Structure 1
Amino acid sequence: MSIKNIVFDVGDVLVDFCYKSYMRNLGFDEETVELFTKNMIMSPHWNELDMGLLTYEKAKEIFKDEIKNHDEEIDRFWDNIEYIVEEYDYAEELIRSIKYAGYKVYILSNYPVELANLHWPKFRFLKYADGKIISGFEKVVKPDVKIYKLLESKFGVDLSECLFVDDRQLNIDGAKDAGMKAVLFENLEQLKDDLARYINYG
């Protein structure tokens, strides 16, 4: 079955989830950067945000309760959250070129509702996408097979005709379990080489 659809993750594929440099730019010392990375970014609560089970105001309350004596820094972190991601310079041209080569492009991302509402209107690559699935709105996250199957139910695509691109092996495995082809993203040049094995691109 030939590939007709390319499905992209967002974070660390099309957009830099640059949370450490973001925190440094806010003036946090390295101890606080590592503390917040471990106890906020990598915490189960961030996954609950991705699943749409927490608002970020509620998340702030939880983090203040769990990370003692850092209320001011937590407020600063969340009050400036617009700047925690940066679209990669190559993202728009990559998606545009695939679209213009005759393929459909879909976006499938683990992303909190409020942050998606804040960030996604500014992503330049999105105007070339044929559809998007955001975990926070769907209440399901990768690598659950259910989120990949939403491509079928929402957009009528055949998963066997989809190539999925993600930077995490767990999510790649989930896509394969759902019946998709998949490639692990490491860098742009590697991705272009992998795309060339599946589609007429470049």
Structure 2
Amino acid sequence: MIDTVIFDLGKVLVEYDWESYLKQFCFDEKTFQVLADAIFLSEAWILGDQGAVTPEEWLQCFLQNAPHNEKEVRQVFEGLAGCIHKFPYTDRLIAHFREKGCRIYYLSNYSEGLYEMTKEELGFINSFDGGVFSYKEKCIKPEEKIYKTLLTRYNIKPENAIFFDDRPENVEAAKMLGIQGVVFTPKVAEEYLG
């Protein structure tokens, strides 16, 4: 019997849309691509999720990736909170599982820098029973260690848990540990909420 729900955050409970955010700056096409590669598509972004760099070091990595665009990199970095917005269905989806008596957790690849900028938008996680951010654990999904950390820390029985994540490889990693997994899309939210 499912008594525990584990949510990824980005593209599950919050919109993570860096492309729309970056387009708001109206940079020319070349600058857009330089900044996309230097920030969002860079190895440095993953280093942030892994907790391998501080927020200041994270910014320095982005600046090194685009040395001729320092002003633009700083501008984009300072407004990163604009990438994250709670979905309209989020509160209802959480309430749906709460009403069924489920414990609720989060398991998310997230950097300290982005968390500091978006913790207000993520305020709803304060009502959760707990959770794990990758930057604090120094490992990321789909590494087995991060799932085991969550299971052990909160005494979660894998066979009683369901995990929602937008990335198939993360769902597969959860399934390998006996957790029921669902590749999440907004359609999945609709199915649960009727």
Whether the TM-score (by the shorter chain) exceeds 0.5 is: yes
Once the two structures are overlaid, the 10-residue window that deviates more, 84-93 or 29-38, is 29-38
In structure 2, relative to structure 1, the CA distance for the partners of 1:129 and 1:142 (3 Å cut) is: same
What TM-score do the two structures reach when normalised by structure 2?
Answer: 0.91
Residues 144-202 of structure 1: CA distance to partner in whole angstroms, max 9, x if unpaired? 11111112221111112111000011111111122211000122x33453x5xxxxx76
Q: TM-score, normalised by structure 1?
A: 0.88
Mapping 1:116-195, distance limit 5 Å:
116-187=115-186, 189-193=187-191
1:198 aligned partner: none
**SS of the residue aligned with 1:27?**
coil
Instruction: Classify the secondary structure of the residue corresponding to 1:122.
Output: coil
Aligned length: 194
1:71 matched residue in structure 2:
70
Q: Which residue of 2 aligns with 1:37?
A: 36
Q: What are the superposed Cα offsets for residues 102-126 of structure 1, whole Å, 9 maximum, x if unpaired?
A: 1111111000113213313432532
8 Å CA contact 2:58–2:113 kept in 1: the answer is: no
State the alpha-carbon separation in 2 of the partners of residues 78 and 38 from structure 1: 13
Residue 44 of structure 1 deviates from its aligned partner by 1.5
Deviation, structure 1 residue 127: 3.9
* CA contact 2:89–2:189 (8 Å) conserved in 1: no
Q: Determine the C-alpha separation between the residues in 1 that align with 2:122 and 2:59.
A: 25
- Residue identity over aligned pairs, in percent, reads 28
Q: Is the 8 A contact 2:104 2:128 kept in 1?
A: yes
**How far apart in 2 are the matches of 1:56 and 1:67?**
17
Matched residue type, 1:8: F
Point out the more displaced range, 127-136 or 43-52: 127-136
Paired position in structure 1 for 2:59: 60
